[in-house]
Amino acid sequence: MLIDDGTDGLSGEAIGVAIEIHKLRGPGLFEKAYRLPFVHELRKRGHKVEIEVPVPLQHDDLRVACAYYMDIVVDGRLVIEVKSVKAILPVHIQQLQTYLQLSAIRVGLLINFNVPVLRYGIKRVILDSQGWARRLGRER
């Protein structure tokens, strides 16, 4: 069973912003060239956007305060991992799944800006109530 927490609209809005940025910049730049304007545009639209959000890791009695950093968290409900790579690999999807599982956020977007048409660089990952991931997105 998937949790409907209203993130469909938020994901759609974030994807629309990403497409605008991609149309302006094109593919092939470093991640920061996309991430900073992306964050700026989301904030202009009234969203609370956090960058490089630390993710703690608990193992037995060991607690690591910052084991990972999530690129972007929007309104505390959507994790966005920004890439500018030749191709999205399974390890990139697993990275996003790990962030979701450790952060208790259920929806994430993996956006690879290094593609000619951005819709082919977007993967959406949703965790169900048991923590299992479903991947949605266009394959090319």
The Cα-based distances of 109 to 9, 51, 60 in angstroms read 13, 14, 30
Contact between 78 and 7 (Cβ < 8 Å): yes
pLDDT of residue 2: 43
- H/E stretch holding 14: helix 7-25
Structure tokens at 50: 């956090």
Percent of the chain with pLDDT over 90: 77
For residues 104-111, give the mean pLDDT: 94
Q: Where are the domains of the chain?
A: 7-137
Classify 12 as helix, strand or coil.
helix
**Distance of alpha carbon 49 from alpha carbon 65, whole angstroms:** 21
